[in-house]
Structure 1
Amino acid sequence: SSVSAAKAIAEALAGGPSGEARRFAHFVDGVAIEWGHMRLAGKNAPPREGVLRFLADVRQQLADALEADDVTVLLVVPPDPAKVGGKQLAWLDKAVDLFAVMTYDYNAASDRPKENAPMPWLTGVMKKLAAAAPNVPRRKLLVGLNLYGYRFSATPAPPKAATGADAVKILGSVRQRAKASDPSLTVKQLRERPMLSWATEAREHSFEHYIPKKGIEWVFFPSIASLLHRVQFA
């Protein structure tokens, strides 16, 4: 049932059945529910009443487990109006404190090298969603930030995830190989290998490098500069 499912979630978040939860109250004050790519709109969408009842039950059960007056409920929604649009946000508004829009993974299903979350796409998604749900306060619509990127190989294959730390590690290994093959290279010359590329429109950094016996790899990663543009927009 909705109540039993919500209770199980609450106990997992709170650290166990009520009574053990006090020591977690300082660390947990809400729950993020990722609706992911499930539809809330269209023929295959679950009943509205069932969704609202589940969200209300999660809120109540978690508050009870934490012995709190209330908790924050954040709903993660896909950036696709065909799945979650303005109408759905309107009736979810009273049941949810915040909406986190999945404005990342623009290219997750692609094997072609391209940006993770181009700014024109990201801003377009958020503006359309806000316009479609004018009664939902803008402060409740959160921009999802990509704190990871992707590595694309020369052969058709799903991309591999890459964090900023991964990008730094790859850059270091590329420069080590360059120094080994040409000891005369200066520090300045090594810093330019490989050359970082900035996509002016997408506002993301990337670079390409050669992997021995494997070919060229393209790396798109979340640099501080790219994240700054997204934070400023939000």
Structure 2
Amino acid sequence: MVKCSTATLGKHDKKLKNEKASLSDETVDERGLVKEKIKWKDITKEHASYCVASKDIKQFSGNVLGYVTPWNNHGYDTAKIFGGKFEFISPVWLQIHRKPGGQFTMGGAHDIDKGWMKDVKKDRHTKILPRILFEKWTSNDYRALFTDEDVVEDCISFILNFLKKNKFDGMVLEIWSSLGGTNRNELIHFINHVADFFHDAKKTFILVLPPPIYAGNNPGLISKANFDDFSDKIDGFSLMTYDYSSVINPGPNAPIDWVRKCVEILVPDDSGLRKKVLLGLNFYGYRYSNMGEVEAIVGSTYMETLKLKKPKLVWHEDHKEHSMIVKKDIGNDNVWFPSLKSIQERLDLARELNTGISIWEIGQGLDYFFDLL
């Protein structure tokens, strides 16, 4: 399955290989690397070199959330190196389950790394907010959650007690997309209860949201009316403004005009709510073949392809993204992967719209990307 929620790449995907980082006294901007016309050699030569002087200093004024996955170890390293650039780090560790008897359990607790958490937070104000996914819930489980206030309170209390026990600062909740746009009123009721409980406990609550519109102006799984029903109560929204294209219509991962539209649909005017929106920024890309195949790719795969195929990179002004054609024995691949220029364009858009950003996920990109944050 190519299109999935925030978990764009799963445990079966290739881990990003650690390359020896080379430190620089200058940022990528000072080195003249943020540009439309780039060559594959520019990337292979410079991608592991970041500015040591600014590695812990934010360039972007809005809130920044970075996801880290246990199947991509490089994310753990980047969170420690560049942690000062993030208000929130969200390790993708946890899944809440409901047993047939109604008891709640938390999967993924074995992935919790308290030593790493301590390193990330050391001398910083960075909050650790694990992403919690509702996993393997049946229709009966959701029916119980949506019809019984005791089940609602038990569920939220279980989550809160788990977070407190493990010294987390709050959570990033992913539940909206799991129901495919159904039961919206019941979800809103539940989400508002979560917000009340979390605020009483002085814990941060960020909600993952799908885009309100898809390719071809097709309506998304959430509307402005839905957003308005809980936007005042929640601390932030991780908006999934990526995965725009598909195997049917291959192309850019997040066309800039579509990203803008997603924000403006939910918050037409900047009345203070936009600062809660964390505009989604992908640090991964996609490879589309002319045989109808599609594959999500991370930095290591991208670097291998550049070195092996030496392709020409093309800047698409209308989308504000780079792509490349990779020649093969039979047919060609069309590869879209973020570049310094494409990331800078989206950071500039976030500044203009007065939003923050959320990155899926920080281990999948290239180290010199962090100079821009």
How high is the TM-score relative to the length of structure 2?
A: 0.47
User: What amino acid does structure 2 have at the position aligned with 1:125?
Assistant: C
> Is 1:6 equivalent to 2:156 in the alignment?
yes
Q: In structure 1, what is the equivalent of residue 184 of structure 2? A: 45
CA distance in 2, matches of 1:155, 1:86: 38
Counterpart of 1:144 in 2: which secondary structure? strand
Partners of 2:184 and 2:226 within 8 A in 1? no
Counterpart of 1:104 in 2: which secondary structure? coil
Structure-2 change in CA distance of 1:40 and 1:165 (3 Å): closer
Of 312, 329, 332 in structure 2, the residue corresponding to residue 216 of structure 1 is 332
User: What amino acid does structure 2 have at the position aligned with 1:215?
Assistant: G
> Is 1:143 equivalent to 2:259 in the alignment?
no
Partners of 2:212 and 2:265 within 8 A in 1? no
In the TM superposition, what whole-angstrom CA distance separates every residue of 1:60-118 from its partner, at most 9, and x where no partner exists?
Answer: 69x4xxxxxx11111111111653222222221233111121111101x4343200001
Partners of 2:327 and 2:333 within 8 A in 1? yes
Partners of 2:237 and 2:277 within 8 A in 1? yes
Structure-2 change in CA distance of 1:113 and 1:4 (3 Å): same
Within 5 A, what are the aligned runs for 1:1-234? 1-12=151-162, 14=163, 21=165, 24-25=166-167, 28-37=168-177, 44-47=183-186, 48-57=188-197, 59=198, 63=201, 70-80=202-212, 82=219, 83-107=221-245, 109-131=246-268, 137-157=273-293, 159-174=294-309, 193-212=310-329, 214-234=330-350
Structure-2 change in CA distance of 1:40 and 1:99 (3 Å): farther
Partners of 2:290 and 2:332 within 8 A in 1? yes
User: What amino acid does structure 2 have at the position aligned with 1:49?
Assistant: H
CA distance in 2, matches of 1:228, 1:164: 18
Partners of 1:93 and 1:136 within 8 A in 2? no
Displacement of 1:134: 6.2
Displacement of 1:136: 5.5
CA distance in 2, matches of 1:135, 1:233: 17
Greater share of residues in helix:
1
User: What amino acid does structure 1 have at the position aligned with 2:323?
Assistant: S
CA distance in 2, matches of 1:143, 1:32: 14
In the TM superposition, what whole-angstrom CA distance separates every residue of 1:9-44 from its partner, at most 9, and x where no partner exists?
Answer: 3455x3xxx6xx3xx43xx31211123535797x74
Counterpart of 1:33 in 2: which secondary structure? strand
CA distance in 1, matches of 2:274, 2:240: 16
CA distance in 1, matches of 2:344, 2:175: 27
Counterpart of 2:184 in 1: which secondary structure? coil
CA distance in 2, matches of 1:126, 1:54: 24
- Calculate percent identity across the aligned residue pairs: 27
Structure-2 change in CA distance of 1:119 and 1:134 (3 Å): closer
Partners of 2:282 and 2:338 within 8 A in 1? yes
Partners of 1:78 and 1:84 within 8 A in 2? yes
Counterpart of 1:122 in 2: which secondary structure? helix
Query: Which runs of 5 or more residues in structure 1 are unaligned?
Result: 64-69, 175-192
Structure-2 change in CA distance of 1:91 and 1:40 (3 Å): farther
Partners of 1:111 and 1:152 within 8 A in 2? no
CA distance in 2, matches of 1:147, 1:84: 24
CA distance in 1, matches of 2:230, 2:291: 43
Larger radius of gyration: 1
- Relative contact order, higher structure (CA 8 A, sep 6+): 2
Number of residue-to-residue matches in the alignment = 193
